Structure 1
C-alpha cells in the first residue's frame, strides 16, 4: 500500500466550492482508499491506497465534480515525494516562523519560469527558491501583502497549491503515523 498526500486547491474558501471533510473522506473510501485522515477544512488529506497516483488523482477530481459540481485542482503526492520536499527546504532558519515559510507544490516542473520577474517582485525581506516541483517562499512580512506570492503561480507558469510550514509539518506527522 502506498501512503499518499492529497492537496486540494480552492475548496471551502469564502463560501465557495464547499466540500465538507466528512464527504471527502466518504468519497475517498468509496475509491478504496484506507486510513483516510484530514487536516483542517482546506483539502489536506493523508491516506493509503494500492492504486497508482495519476489515475487516482483524476478519479478523485471527477468524483468531486460529480458530487459537488466543481472540479478542484488535485495534487496527489507519494509520501516520499512530500518528505523530499521537506528535506530540500532551503530556508531551514525560517522553520521557526511557521506562518511565514511556504511551500508551493507545483503540478509539474515549470518549463520556463520567469525567475527574473519573480526576483524583481520580491520585497527586501523575502526570499524564494524553486527546486523541482516546489516553490519555497519565506515571507516574514506576510504572504497576504506579498507581490511575489500573488504573482508566483502566473510567473512560474504551472498550477500551484500553497501550504505554510505549520501545515506541512502536520501533514507529515499524519502521514508518518500511517506509514509505520
Structure 2
C-alpha cells in the first residue's frame, strides 16, 4: 500500500488551530488509514492507504473540518514526491532550518515570483508543486509575502528530511 505524508495548514501547538497529534492519529485511523504516525505537533502525519492521493486529501479534509468546524487544508505527498522535494532543494548549502519548501496543491503560477513583496535577503525558487525560500537572515526577521503561497503550508528542510526518513522506515 502507498505511504502518504499529509501536511496540515494552520495547525499549532497551542492557541488557534490547536489539534493534539493523538487526535489526528485517531482521525486517520478512523478513516481507515494504516500505520499512522505523526511528527511534532504542527500537523505532520503519515500513513498507508490504498486510496489515490486526491481521495486521501478529500477524506482527511472532510474529517478535519468536521472536527474543527472550519476548513483545515491538507497537502498530500507520496514518499517519492517528498524525496524529490528534498533532492530539488535549490539551496542545498543553506542552513536547513532557514530553508523551507512551501507545499502547494498545484504548480505555482509562472508569475509567482513577480507577485512577491517585502523581499530583502531571501532567495526564492519555484518547484514542481512547491516554492522554496531561503531566509538568509532568519524567518523571524522576514517581511516576505508570497501571494502564490497563501494556500500552501511550509516545512523547513530539517522537517522534510525527518518526514522522509520516517515514511521510508
Give the counterpart of 1:133 among 123, 129, 133: 129
Normalised by the length of structure 1, the TM-score is: 0.86
4+ long deviations beyond 2 Å = 110-114
Contact 2:108 2:126 (8 Å CA) reproduced: no
Match of 2:10 in 1: 10
* Aligned residue number for residue 97 of structure 2: 99
| CA-CA distance at 1:113 after TM superposition | 2.9
Partners in 2 of 1:110 and 1:123 — Cα distance?
Answer: 21
In 2, Cα distance between the equivalents of 1:12 and 1:76?
Answer: 18
Alignment of 1:54-133 (within 5 A): 54-94=54-94, 97-118=95-116, 121-124=118-121, 126-133=122-129
Q: In structure 2, what is the equivalent of residue 168 of structure 1? A: 160
- Give the match's secondary structure for 1:38: strand
Q: How many residues align?
A: 169
TM-score, normalising length from structure 2? 0.92
Q: Distance in 2 between matches of 1:29 and 1:114?
A: 37
Instruction: Render the CA deviation track for 1:50-90: whole Å, top value 9, x for unaligned.
Output: 11111121111111121232221111111111111111111
| Contact 1:107 1:158 survives alignment (8 Å) | no
The Cα offsets for residues 93-130 of structure 1, whole Å up to 9 and x where unpaired, read as 11xx2221111111211235342343x64223x21101
Q: Which runs of 5+ in 2 are unaligned?
A: none
Q: Which moved more, 1:139-148 or 1:85-94?
A: 139-148
Aligned-residue RMSD, C-alpha: 1.7
Correspondence 1:14-25 to 2 at 5 A: 14-25=14-25
**Structure 1 unpaired stretches of 5+:** none
